């Protein structure tokens, strides 16, 4: 293999040294033929069609892979309940697999079953915590939304001219007199 590469390199050197007179001489670029608007439009259209085809292929590929991989991982008997991370690529997971509750140690190179949870009280406690965690985002959203709405109302009362409230403007102006 090495001899082959050396042979090609030497042949390249031979060809480079055997040149005729006009091999490395400067030549003026030839003027391009007049570019018509039709060729420009066709070029832009081809770019748009290519872009649309790439987007469509990406969409269908993601749907296909989502269905294939989703059916593998989204069965009702498997789910991650809790995760405790110990740094990059190290964590402890509490999972439910086939009706069993397991505590798994996960690293880059291994997954180890640390313990199986068999205590019914612990299982009920984990299920109750999981249901509560599903409800918390809804409560948090309502609380955050109410706070933001109250903040906007307070802001509109502080700066009535910015929001075009005529009654507040009149009260504000009559208070100055």
Q: Is 19's pLDDT higher than 70?
A: no
Q: What is the DSSP string of 67-121?
A: HHHHHHH--TTEEEEEEEE-STT-EEEEEEETTEEEEEEE-SS-EEEEEEE--HH
Burial 111-138, CB ≥16 within 10 A → b, else e: eeeeeebeeeeeeeebeeeeeeeeeeee
Q: pLDDT tens digit string along 24-69?
A: 777 787 776 667 788 888 999 999 999 999 999 999 998 888 777 7
pLDDT recorded at residue 16: 47
Q: Is 71's pLDDT higher than 60?
A: no
Q: Is 177's pLDDT higher than 60?
A: no
Q: Is 75's pLDDT higher than 60?
A: no
Q: pLDDT tens digit string along 77-119?
A: 677 888 888 888 899 998 888 888 899 999 989 999 999 888 8
Q: pLDDT tens digit string along 108-160?
A: 899 999 998 888 888 888 878 777 766 655 556 677 777 778 877 777 777 66
């Amino acid at each position: 293999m090495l001899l082959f590469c050396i042979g090609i390199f030497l042949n390249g050197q031979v060809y480079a040294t055997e040149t005729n007179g006009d091999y490395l001489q400067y030549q003026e670029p030839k003027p391009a033929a007049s570019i018509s608007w039709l060729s420009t439009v066709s070029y832009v259209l081809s770019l748009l069609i290519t872009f649309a085809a790439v987007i469509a292929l990406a969409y269908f590929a993601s749907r296909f892979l989502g269905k294939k991989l989703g059916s593998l991982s989204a069965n009702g008997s498997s789910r991650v309940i809790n995760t405790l991370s110990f740094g990059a690529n190290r964590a402890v997971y509490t999972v439910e697999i086939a009706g069993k509750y397991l505590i798994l140690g996960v690293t880059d190179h291994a997954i180890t079953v640390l313990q199986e949870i068999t205590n019914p009280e612990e299982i009920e406690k984990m299920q109750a915590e999981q249901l509560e965690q599903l409800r918390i985002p809804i409560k948090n959203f309502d609380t955050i939304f109410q706070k933001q709405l109250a903040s906007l109302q307070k802001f509109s009362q502080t700066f009535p001219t910015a929001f075009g409230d005529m009654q507040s403007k009149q009260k504000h102006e009559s208070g100055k007199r």
